[in-house]
Structure 1
Amino acid sequence: MRLSVKNILRHFRRCEDGTASLEFVLVAPVFISLLIMSIELGFVTVRNTMLERGMDIAVREIRLGTGSAPQHDAIKQIICDNTVVINDCMGNLRLEMRSTDIRAFNALDPEADCNDNAEPAKPLRKFEAGDENELMLLRACLKYNPLFPEEVLGSALRKDDSGQVEMIAMTAFVQEPK
């Protein structure tokens, strides 16, 4: 009996079956996590790029459309029309715009005010149309659901109670004369 256990252990030690499986089990989760993280990062980058693009087009339209003061819903609609990959843009986008003096610069509040699906709709934080030759600050805050909320990058993002992540874009422009 002792001899057979010794032979079995010797055979087990020399056997190389399953070494590829062991390497796969150790390395595959790392590669799958990197793949999921890069897909999530790609979508975050695309959303951010499209939000910035929508804001740039809206600001360009505001600046070229001299003679009419920009209105909140019209600006929001222009931004959402130019952000193709963002789901429910009109419902998840919150805009804040106000004028500031160039000589005594006063930035926007550091805390962005985003939509919260768990609460009733908030009134506009502050949205001023601005006069001629005024420096205008425009901030957009977008809430979205991550693709993989519990995976590597999705779990690192700061989420609200409903599991949404906020993305903030800011721009500044000068209100052109009429």
Structure 2
Amino acid sequence: MKNYLRRFRKEERGSVFVIEFVILVPALFIPFFFGFEMSMHSIRQMQLDRALEITTREVRLFTGAEYTHDTIVKTICANSGGLNDCEQNLRLEMVQKDPRAYTPLETRADCINSSEEVAPVRGWTLGEEHELMFMRACYRYVPLWNKMGLGKELDKDGDGYGEMVSISAFSQEPE
């Protein structure tokens, strides 16, 4: 075995291919990893958008029901199709806006940051009939590759979680 390893180390046949391999394989795999991360990000975003729209429709149509932050979070998570640790990593805002004297939403979504103290729920109003309502959901997730590709470029909190935001607007239906 010792002689075989010594011969292998001194052998020069094929050494050109090793250099080529070392240079080209990372150049081929990095775009693959970036594309895979982008696909996973898009799937999560689609799941969040769809779940928020389905839940928003329920809230809009069933105005007599008393919805709380936690019940809507559970409904969104049930409709999402499998966002990881959804109930722990999802934060909602629901605010009423006047369409005739519109003021924009806060620029930064209210997300959970596990490295900071938990803040109380911000902007939670159920609204009345015919009022314009905005529901904004912020979901935190762990990128597949934090140190390369898309995972490196994402805004992350202190624990390395990326975040995605989805917004839905609706008008409360009369009962």
Q: Within 5 Å, give how 1:91-102 maps onto structure 2.
A: 91-102=88-99
Q: Unpaired segments of 5 or more residues in structure 2?
A: 1-11
**What's the CA shift for 1:16?**
8.2
Which 4+ residue blocks in structure 1 deviate beyond 6 angstroms? none
Deviations 1:66-122 (A, max 9, x none): 322432122111101112231111111110011011111112100112101122321
**What's the CA shift for 1:21?**
3.3
**1:38 corresponds to 2:35:** yes
Alignment partner, residue 62 of structure 1: 59
TM score, norm. by length of structure 1: 0.86
TM score, norm. by length of structure 2: 0.87
Q: Residue type matched to 2:61 in 1?
A: L
**What's the CA shift for 1:129?**
0.4
Alignment partner, residue 72 of structure 2: 75
Contact 2:90 2:139 (C-alpha < 8 Å) held by counterparts: yes
Deviations 1:116-168 (A, max 9, x none): 11223211111000000000011011111111111222111111111111111
**What's the CA shift for 1:170?**
0.6
Number of aligned residues: 164
Pair member with larger Rg: 1
Alignment partner, residue 149 of structure 1: 146
Let me know the Cα RMSD of the aligned residues. 1.6
Q: Within 5 Å, give how 1:71-150 maps onto structure 2.
A: 71-150=68-147
Alpha-carbon spacing, 1:17–1:68, altered in 2? closer, same or farther (3 Å): closer
